[in-house]
Amino acid sequence: MKDIISGGIFGKTVAHMHVIEFQKRGLPHAHILIIIADQDRAMTPDLVDSIVVAELPPRPEDTDCEEEAEQRKRLQTIVMNNMIHGPCGSINRKCNKNYPKAFQKKTVVDMDNNYPTYRRRAPEDGGHQVICKKTACRIDNRWVVPYCPFLSLKFNCHINVELCTSPKAAKYLYKYVTKGSDRAMVATEVDG
């Protein structure tokens, strides 16, 4: 949270809210809403692409810089282990998260949609494919869950990052803060 709130990796944060919930096996995860200052909120395709990526990382062998190649290799491992959607059962079954997504040559910011449509290039448009070691399936950009490379490299875990221009995001997160069954405190005493 420090990188986001005071570090300003997405811009100046004017408000934030989060809730931590536990999955079925007891693993915690957080839903975080960050509200960015107006001057940092302009959503252009270039700004979106600088924060959120929905593609496999660039190939390590496509750079001559040894340090950059090592960072790309590390990011590729993190993305393959944490940011590939699936499995959803049989390949013919419809996924409720709409994966695989459609290929997209460029990021499109449609203010009526509230969410940008992230760039997911096809192999013929500059994207690439890899073979997943876990499943032996061919993976391309259609299967990548949106992520922030900075956060992925820093924390080496699944961190789904989405940009949104709608107040519906606050309503969505509020649902997580208030969900759960009603609770009451009860005390019993034994007279002695």
Instruction: State how far the Cα of 15 lies from the Cα of 2, in Å rounded to an integer.
Output: 13
The label of the residue with tokens 């449509």 reads: 117
Rounded to two decimals, what is the model's pTM?
Answer: 0.82
Amino acid at position 157, single letter:
C
Q: What is the pLDDT of residues 11-70, one digit of tens each?
A: 898 888 887 877 777 788 888 888 888 888 778 899 899 999 999 999 999 999 999 999
pLDDT in tens, 158-191: 999 988 877 776 676 667 666 655 555 556 567 6
Give percent above pLDDT 90 in the chain.
41
Q: b/e map of 16-52 (b: 16 or more CB within 10 Å)? A: eeebeeeeeeeeeeebebbebeeeeeebeeebbbebb
| Rounded-to-integer distance, Cα 129 and Cα 49, Å | 20
Q: Taking a C-beta distance cutoff of 8 angstroms, is the pair 99, 142 a contact?
A: yes
φ/ψ of residue 162, rounded to 5 = -130, 145
What string of DSSP letters covers 16-67?
EEEEEEE-TTS-EEEEEEEEE-GGG----HHHHHHH-B-SPPPPGGG-S-HH
pLDDT at 129 > cutoff 70: yes
